[in-house]
Structure 1
Amino acid sequence: MRLVPVQKLKEGMKLGKKIYSADGVTLLAVGVELTNNLIRRLMGIGIDYVYIQDVLTEDIVIPEVLHEETRRKALRTIQSSFQKISESSITSRGIGGYRHLGRDFSVVMQSILDDLNSQEVTMIMLMDMNQTDHYLYRHSLNVCIYTLILGAASGLSHEQLKVLGIGSLLHDIGKTQIPLEVLLKPERLDDKEFEQIKSHTELGFKILKGEPDIPLLAAHCALQHHERLNGTGYPRGLKGSEIHEFAQWLGMADSYDAMTSHRVYKKAMLPHQAMEILYGGSGTMFDQKKLQVFRDKVAIYPPGMSVKLSSGETGVVCRIDPSIPQRPVVRVLTNEFGEVLKAPYDMDLTQQLSIVITQVEGLDTFGETTIL
């Protein structure tokens, strides 16, 4: 299968991966044949890309990071908990009327860790664009997966990963206290509204620190995830080692997923674009060594993505070598003149060092998408 921008979908194409609702319920199943009406609905609910079945790429496997039941349970827990908190009173002692936050998220976190361990997930290839909003729930889960893989790569213990994961799942919980008209405003925020958005870090800390079953370090993840090495972050303007290591991982993952997700006010960036922006803050906003680990663990050209090569040929990423994720195996489908090959072949970019990826298919590139 391959990843196709929704604006380039055509009637008769068949879905290669499910489309999920905000709480993990299947809206469209694998194999559904798209109609013009369905394509318009996909555009309307904020999905930028979908995976499509294709004879030439039918053997390309798009790995699932989590089992479907784990993903559904996590999203439902995030949704129900955030909704309860948004309706509850927040005091210095925690959340009035809701006493199971720590227990609920500990159970979910153990399921996520079990999935990542059982599937030996070592690379981040989410490209989780087959899910409708609510953005906040999806973002919370994605960021959690990113930070857990990065934390494991840096040698954290199981207990440390559990704390990091809970802090990641709940890092934006303070946004439950922000008015929806501000949180979902499609236009540029004014200064007052931006200050309201920034307050979610301290609000999140206030919510979590009063919960007896939530580790205090998880609360500090919520407080510090917008701090930056050079002191330009918020809410406290912390610098360097003043920012906890967990919050530093979280800050990178939060920024990356925000850039690669569809928002009410912007389209999703492609992974390589977001990574370039992160690297622009290397050594100033983000720790250089941690960013290197992040880059080595993120598939900026995930399987199924259409790419153009410096040779002029185009194709679809079909496999990734985890040791060199920036140079995948590409199934070449057209020659340098744009002609469809009668016999497509796989090119391993780790062996063809003179050839590089120069472009990836987005909403405004490559012209028409041909599916066989």
Structure 2
Amino acid sequence: MLLMPISKVRPGMRLGRRIYNEDGLTLLGEQVELTETLIGRLAAHGIDFLYIDDPRTNDIYFQDLLTDETRIRATMEIRNTFRKVMDDTVKRKAVSTYQLGKQFRNILTMIIDDLSDHKDAMIMLTNISVMDDYLYQHSLNVCIYTTMLAMSYGFSRDELMTIGLGSLLHDIGKTQLPTDVLKKKGKLTDSEYATIKRHAEYGFQLLKDEPNIPLLAAHCALQHHERIDGSGYPRNLKGMDIHEYARWIGIADSYDAMTTHRVYRNAMLPHQALEVLFTGSGTLYEKQKLELFRDKIAIYPIGVLVRLSSGESGIVVDLNSSAPMRPIIRILQDADDQELDAPYEVDLSKRLNLVITEVNDVKLSLLT
């Protein structure tokens, strides 16, 4: 299957992977034929990329990190809980978070168990969802990224639970913000940006006294926008004054924000987001943490179209965990863009003279 920008998807193409609705249930199944109307509706819902069926690559298979049951339960729990907190705020009722800790611990246990079955896998979120609110999917994505990384680096089960809860609930403070500011499509005014920044403190206040939520998880909500040079918020903390968990979550939060559709811009591909992150190496984020993050992320996701320095083009069909920037490519076209009668595969980890120069027809610079 191909991972294509929705701008290049044409009527008559068929889905290669399911699309989920906000309840985590299948909205459009595999092999559904796309029409101009369907493509338009998906684009209107903020979907920038689709997996498209392609007979030249129909042997490619990759497994979601979460089971359907876990995804559905996690998505519904996040949505229902966050909506209730929002409703209480709008109605000026005392915000009730009773049992929040117990509910999310159960969800996180399921997430940790699922990720444990894939702990050596490259991190690649493969589910595409139509969500009515960016906040819900973002919270789950950041939790998956952060927990997977923490697991890879040997965190204990108790530590995984704490950093997992902190990442899952890092943005719960946004439930306290005015919807018109939170979902504004245009540039924020200075006053509106100041309002947005308060979500870190709001999140801490919601979580700090919550039974079954470790105080460290509340500090993750408070500190995930702090940066090591002191330029972050809300307290302008520097370096090691920022808790390690919050430093990890800050990277995952920024990465997912860039690779997910927002109301004011389209999603980036992983390599583009990583290039942006690395511009903040040593100032916003620790260089070592960025390098570890890069080594666990599928920089070039399976299914993405690439061009090599040889001029040939093809599709990423597999990943090299020991060399994430050098995946395995199935060459489909020669340097003159002629389709090959007999496509063949090139392992870039063994062909060091070749590099990827374009992804989805966009030229790229090499990551440092």
Is 1:68 the counterpart of 2:68 in the alignment?
yes
SS of the aligned residue for 2:344 comes to: strand
Aligned-pair CA distance for 1:13:
1.2
Aligned-pair CA distance for 1:61:
1.6
State which drifts further: 33-42 or 126-135: 126-135
Whether the 8 Å contact between 1:123 and 1:149 is mirrored in structure 2 is no
SS of the aligned residue for 1:342 comes to: strand
SS of the aligned residue for 2:193 comes to: helix
Is 1:33 the counterpart of 2:33 in the alignment?
yes
SS of the aligned residue for 1:87 comes to: helix
Whether the 8 Å contact between 1:47 and 1:132 is mirrored in structure 2 is no
Whether the 8 Å contact between 1:49 and 1:130 is mirrored in structure 2 is no
Map of 1:348 onto structure 2: 347
Q: Within 1, Cα distance between the matches of 2:20 and 2:232?
A: 34
The one-letter code of the counterpart of 2:243 is: H
Aligned-pair CA distance for 1:40:
1.4
Whether the 8 Å contact between 1:62 and 1:304 is mirrored in structure 2 is no
Aligned-pair CA distance for 1:10:
1.6
Is 1:212 the counterpart of 2:208 in the alignment?
no
Aligned-pair CA distance for 1:55:
0.6
Map of 1:181 onto structure 2: 180
SS of the aligned residue for 2:314 comes to: strand
Aligned-pair CA distance for 1:151:
0.9
Whether the 8 Å contact between 2:18 and 2:127 is mirrored in structure 1 is no
SS of the aligned residue for 2:357 comes to: strand
Map of 1:297 onto structure 2: 296
Once the two structures are superposed, the pairs formed by residues 90-109 of structure 1 within 5 Å of their partners are: 96-109=95-108
The one-letter code of the counterpart of 1:19 is: I
| Structure 2: gaps spanning 5 or more residues | 364-368
Map of 2:236 onto structure 1: 237
Whether the 8 Å contact between 1:121 and 1:149 is mirrored in structure 2 is no
Q: Within 2, Cα distance between the matches of 1:23 and 1:95?
A: 27
Q: Within 2, Cα distance between the matches of 1:308 and 1:128?
A: 25
Aligned-pair CA distance for 1:88:
2.4
Once the two structures are superposed, the pairs formed by residues 163-174 of structure 1 within 5 Å of their partners are: 163-174=162-173
State which drifts further: 127-136 or 327-336: 127-136
> Identity percentage over the alignment?
52
SS of the aligned residue for 2:290 comes to: helix
Map of 2:281 onto structure 1: 282
Q: Within 1, Cα distance between the matches of 2:243 and 2:185?
A: 33
Q: Within 2, Cα distance between the matches of 1:98 and 1:219?
A: 13
Whether the 8 Å contact between 1:331 and 1:346 is mirrored in structure 2 is yes
Map of 1:83 onto structure 2: 83
State which drifts further: 183-192 or 116-125: 116-125
The one-letter code of the counterpart of 2:49 is: Y
Once the two structures are superposed, the pairs formed by residues 1-372 of structure 1 within 5 Å of their partners are: 1-88=1-88, 96-361=95-360
Q: Within 2, Cα distance between the matches of 1:304 and 1:95?
A: 48
CA 351–95 in structure 1, closer or farther in 2 if over 3 Å, else same: farther
Map of 2:366 onto structure 1: none
Whether the 8 Å contact between 1:22 and 1:131 is mirrored in structure 2 is yes
Q: TM-score w.r.t. structure 2 length? A: 0.95
SS of the aligned residue for 2:125 comes to: coil
Q: Within 1, Cα distance between the matches of 2:341 and 2:105?
A: 53
Aligned-pair CA distance for 1:95:
6.2
CA 250–349 in structure 1, closer or farther in 2 if over 3 Å, else same: same
Map of 1:369 onto structure 2: none
The one-letter code of the counterpart of 2:66 is: L
Q: Within 2, Cα distance between the matches of 1:179 and 1:242?
A: 31
Q: Within 2, Cα distance between the matches of 1:28 and 1:133?
A: 16
Aligned-pair CA distance for 1:153:
2.1
Aligned-pair CA distance for 1:241:
0.5
Which of structures 1 and 2 has the larger relative contact order (alpha carbons within 8 angstroms, sep 6+)?
A: 1
CA 80–341 in structure 1, closer or farther in 2 if over 3 Å, else same: same
State which drifts further: 336-345 or 145-154: 145-154
State which drifts further: 269-278 or 8-17: 8-17
Aligned-pair CA distance for 1:133:
4.1
Aligned-pair CA distance for 1:121:
4.7
Whether the 8 Å contact between 1:85 and 1:95 is mirrored in structure 2 is no
Q: Within 1, Cα distance between the matches of 2:219 and 2:115?
A: 24
CA 29–342 in structure 1, closer or farther in 2 if over 3 Å, else same: same
CA 222–95 in structure 1, closer or farther in 2 if over 3 Å, else same: farther
Q: Within 2, Cα distance between the matches of 1:195 and 1:140?
A: 21
Q: TM-score w.r.t. structure 1 length? A: 0.94
The one-letter code of the counterpart of 1:10 is: R
Whether the 8 Å contact between 2:259 and 2:269 is mirrored in structure 1 is yes
Q: Within 1, Cα distance between the matches of 2:29 and 2:178?
A: 34
Whether the 8 Å contact between 1:229 and 1:238 is mirrored in structure 2 is yes
User: CA RMSD of the aligned region, Å?
Assistant: 1.6
Aligned-pair CA distance for 1:359:
0.8
| Structure 1: gaps spanning 5 or more residues | 366-372
